[in-house]
Amino acid sequence: MKKVLIIGAGLAGCYLASLLQDTCHVTMITKGTQADSNSMLAQGGIAASLDPGDSPAEHAADTLAAGQYHNRQTAVNQLVTTGPKLIQRLITHGMAFDHQANGQLDFGLEGAHSHHRILHANGDRTGAALTKFVQSHLNHVHWQPHTTALELQRQNGICTGVIVRNQRTHQIEILSGEAIVLATGGLGNLFPLTTNDATITGDGIAMAARIGAAISDMAFVQFHPTLLSLHGRCYGLITEAIRGSGAILVDENDHRIMADVLQKDLAPRDVVARHLKAWQQRGHQLFLDISAIPNFTQRFPGVTENLDRHHVPFRSTHRIPIQPGAHFVMGGVTTDLSAQTSIPHLFAIGEVACNGVHGANRLASNSLLDCLVSAKKAADKIQALQPTEIGKAAVAAKPAITPHLPELADLQAHAWRYLGVVRTPAGLKAFLDWLSPFNYRQLSPRQLTADQLTIANLCLCASLIAKAAFAEPKSLGAHYLEETVPSR
């Protein structure tokens, strides 16, 4: 049987495993557990044109508009036409999405969508419900939890395996396979304020970059407008579906922040995030006013649980304190429509990949859909791979280099200041100058501690973002460049 190594435990990796498990020997490598991924935290839902009044063409048009037409048209078409079929197949196999009282699927609305097309499961716990459903069907998969992927292996130009380290025993080994799949998510923990799971630290992008895989569109990092914010810290996502249900963004004086903006509170995320940041910089507090939403606690049980956990008195105030934070990277490891990277037998699916579907700004609730579609296309390609001879690999010794790395908090603070919601050419240069003395590029991952590896990977991702942003002379989507005015 063909050996397939999948790095990551989210929806993309698990769905791929479900499609391959009966014909391939599948190993799932994750530095956490099956429960640790961004997919498990996804609240908003999954977008698909399943309503009779909707169409793939309209979904494609919304995706392109949100992405500022920087998208790859063929990837968008693949997403909106293949996605609904995969969702129907999941429903046929027992996946329970939320329904209306009349028994019809309950389609929600989110920012920049022209139609109610967002499916939810368990209210605002869609990602967890969908990922757990797929995981429940993984019957012939070998899991390696608490295992850190360190370095990808190449032989004769082909990716043949990955060096991993068991976090408990610290033992290092080489795992080989005919197909190596990155399903590691993004890089949200580069920033101090993020919706991402703690395990998401740019590992897949960094590993691919180190062996020379093509990387694309790293300038485009999406900042979600509404994270629960208390005392300058963020405590998870407040789903956009709440605004889709009628909530509005206000300040401490109940002034509507988005009143004068096209599409108002449901404008694209980059637009909303910039307005909120500007409002905050004027000294205002930011809130989500939920007074227009009946049965809020029943409709959004996950958000309610989180608000109660942090003692937010939303039942009496009808307001949730929020602020923007890092959410999703549109760029990543470059792939074709079959999830194949520039290195043969190395695949990338989900957020770690850049197949062009999201353009300069991801449309809300397209990420879970892309997880399914990219996994399905990868499965088809992997099934068709011709067998390859893999020689016995050994972990070659490398000269030890003393790490010179920044503190994680310093890296995050600099990234937020210079690579965040609003950027300047001078700020991007200042960030690259600050980063340049550190030796993260020269270090061997297997000689680093877990904390050092996290910082090295995030430094590499940060440099890719800064250089790509510096090369984009004009604002586009989530890359917003504010020209500095020279002093007189």
* Contacts for 86 with CB less than 8 Å, ≥ 6 apart: 372, 373, 376
Would you state the torsion angle of the CA atoms of residues 250, 316, 121, 322, taken in this order, to the nearest 10 degrees?
A: 30
What strands, in cross-sheet order, belong to the sheet with 179-182?
Answer: 141-144, 24-29, 2-7, 179-182, 346-348
**CB neighbours of residue 144 within 10 Å:** 17
Alpha-carbon distance 441 to 362, whole Å? 29
Q: What is the CA radius of gyration of the chain?
A: 22
Catalytic residues: 269
Find the length of the chain: 488
Host H or E run for residue 14: helix 11-20
β partners of residue 326: 194, 223
Alpha-carbon distance 343 to 347, whole Å? 8
Alpha-carbon distance 178 to 386, whole Å? 9
Handedness of CA 307, 309, 312, 316 (dihedral sign): positive
Alpha-carbon distance 451 to 169, whole Å? 16
Name the residue with tokens 């003692």.
Answer: 311
Among residues 27, 70, 66, 68, the alpha carbon closest in space to that of 47 is found at 66
Kind of pairing between the strands at 141-144 and 24-29: parallel
Structure tokens at 451: 């904390």
H-type helices in 148-220, by residue range?
203-210
The per-type count for the chain, helices as H runs and strands as E runs, is: 14, 19
Host H or E run for residue 425: helix 425-435
β partners of residue 154: 159
If phi over 0 gives left and psi between -120 and 50 gives alpha, with beta otherwise, what is residue 331?
beta
